[in-house]
């Protein structure tokens, strides 16, 4: 059996202000989240020769972790500055770009996509001291083909999508669909599509041991006539498997470190890899289309975005988002380029803009109607600035 390449992807997101609120009201939950973040580099130290991990961190999470005031408040729990510094180790970690406020891109107006992408690139470049990020993590794995031109303008080489939504343009076997990167095209632009194995990712999220995982990788790829890339993607700070503070009872001590030990001893054909390294060696093959959808959440498959649009209140909030976005972009167009004569006007529009973008946070819609008030509060404030703009 030839080498089987494994790409591990972990997503971390906290809405704006959420960690501060948890520290005040549910301190242990806040500590578990911070410990889960801090555990990533600590679990990888000493495995530079074999460990390869992709991390996505939302802009609002990076904003919180890099805030000096927040760093002071959690100093006795986690040293955030040191954490962010250690995540710059490109021998162990590749950082994936994402949307700043973690929106479900297909559910928000396309006019807002570039701003979410650009704002994340701004903080990502600042925190991680690099200009380019080649891989893109769609928040909630919410993807549509129309996003491709925006992702290319932002400089991304590849995007990760869920296996259940990939449709080959030409005939392709199941193993090839799931375990090979492909090309997706839209309006003359193309991007590499890296396919997440949904079943193995679900197991990664729930808990598994290295023996079972290695067996599954072998069985799933044994008929591949090519070097397979198996990609598993989950949140990295949700659920007991990732939050468990016992070294043997969490993902790192229960699965990943034992796996790395076997890789180091050459007892397995599994090879942890960065996606870029795999693409440089093996490339992408075949064209696919990706159905507009998200990853699986609870009992929902990701089709039709039921988790975020299942109630009339959720749909009404998204309608308000679209209306506010339309008005804002009309105002920006009419305002013209910034200059001293319209500085006050552009300041009002900027205040409305970031509140609109924050209103689009996926978490505002994920919990049914429970967090919709946060979306409406941001939209109400955005409208206040837009009305002020009209009066100037």
Indicate the domain borders of the chain: 4-303, 310-391
- Is-contact 293 165, C-beta < 8 A? yes
- Mean pLDDT per 10-residue segment, the chain (392 residues): 93 97 96 97 96 98 97 96 96 98 98 98 96 97 98 98 97 96 98 97 91 94 96 94 90 95 95 98 97 91 94 98 97 90 89 98 96 98 86 53
- pTM metric for this prediction: 0.96
| Residues pairing with 234 in the sheet | 10
Task: Report the number of secondary-structure helices (H) and strands (E) in the chain.
Answer: 19, 11
pLDDT score for 288 = 98
Burial 235-246 (b: 16+ CB within 10 A, else e): ebbbbebbbbee
Return the H-helix or E-strand segment holding 56: strand 53-57
Q: How confident is the model over 186-236, as pLDDT tens digits?
A: 999 999 999 999 999 999 998 898 899 999 999 999 999 999 999 999 999
- What span, in angstroms and rounded, lies between the C-alpha atoms of 245 and 335? 53
Tokens of 385: 């600035």
pLDDT score for 343 = 85
Burial 249-268 (b: 16+ CB within 10 A, else e): ebbbebbbbbbbeebeeeeb
pLDDT score for 9 = 98
- What span, in angstroms and rounded, lies between the C-alpha atoms of 177 and 195? 8
Mapping DSSP to helix (H, G, I), strand (E, B) and coil, where does residue 47 land? coil
Strands 182-186 and 189-196: antiparallel
Closest alpha carbon to 288 in 135, 149, 173: 173
Distant-in-sequence, close-in-space partners of 341: CB < 8 Å, separation ≥ 6: none
- What span, in angstroms and rounded, lies between the C-alpha atoms of 71 and 80? 6
pLDDT score for 248 = 85
- Is-contact 88 41, C-beta < 8 A? no
Dihedral over alpha carbons 204, 206, 212, 214 (to 10 degrees): 0
Q: What are the start-end ranges of the H helices in the chain?
A: 18-25, 27-44, 59-65, 68-73, 80-86, 113-128, 148-153, 174-179, 198-206, 210-221, 240-243, 251, 257-264, 275-282, 306-309, 312-335, 343-359, 363-366, 372-391
CATH topology of domain 4-303: 7-stranded beta/alpha barrel (3.20.110)
For 161, which DSSP code? E
pLDDT score for 1 = 61
Tokens of 320: 């308000």
pLDDT score for 280 = 98
Dihedral sign for Cα 345, 351, 354, 359, please: negative
């Amino acid at each position: 059996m030839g080498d089987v390449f494994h790409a591990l992807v972990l997503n971390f997101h906290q809405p704006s202000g959420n960690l501060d609120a948890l520290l005040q009201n549910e301190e242990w939950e806040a500590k578990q989240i911070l410990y889960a973040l801090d555990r990533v580099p600590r679990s990888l130290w000493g495995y530079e020769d074999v460990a390869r991990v992709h991390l996505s961190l939302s802009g609002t999470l990076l904003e919180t972790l890099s805030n000096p005031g927040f760093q002071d408040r959690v100093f006795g729990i986690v040293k955030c500055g040191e954490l962010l510094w250690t995540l710059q180790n490109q021998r162990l970690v590749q950082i994936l770009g994402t949307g700043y406020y973690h929106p479900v891109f297909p559910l928000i107006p396309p006019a807002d996509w570039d701003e979410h992408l650009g704002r994340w690139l701004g903080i990502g470049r600042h925190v991680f001291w690099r200009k380019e990020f080649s891989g893109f993590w769609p928040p909630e794995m919410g993807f549509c083909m129309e996003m491709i031109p925006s992702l290319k303008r932002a400089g991304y080489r590849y995007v990760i999508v869920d296996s259940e939504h990939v449709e080959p343009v030409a005939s392709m076997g199941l193993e090839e669909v799931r375990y090979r990167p492909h090309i997706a095209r839209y309006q003359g632009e193309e991007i590499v599509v890296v396919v997440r194995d949904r079943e193995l990712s679900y197991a990664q999220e729930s808990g598994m041991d290295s023996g079972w995982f290695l067996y599954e990788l072998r069985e799933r790829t044994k008929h591949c006539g090519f070097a397979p890339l198996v990609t598993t993607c989950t949140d990295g700070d949700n659920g007991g498997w990732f939050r468990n503070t016992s070294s043997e009872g969490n993902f790192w001590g229960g699965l990943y470190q034992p796996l790395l030990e076997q890789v180091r001893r050459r007892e397995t054909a599994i090879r942890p890899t960065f996606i870029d390294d795999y693409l440089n060696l093996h490339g992408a093959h075949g064209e696919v289309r990706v159905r507009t959808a998200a990853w699986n959440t609870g009992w929902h498959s990701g089709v039709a975005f039921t988790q975020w649009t299942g109630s009339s209140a959720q749909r009404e909030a998204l309608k308000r988002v679209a209306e506010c976005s339309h008005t804002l972009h009309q105002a920006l167009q009419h305002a013209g380029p910034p200059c001293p004569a319209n500085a006050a006007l552009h300041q009002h529009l900027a205040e409305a803009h970031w509140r609109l973008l924050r209103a689009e946070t996926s978490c505002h819609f994920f919990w049914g109607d429970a967090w919709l008030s946060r979306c409406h509060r941001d939209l109400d404030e955005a409208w206040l600035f837009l009305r002020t703009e009209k009066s100037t």
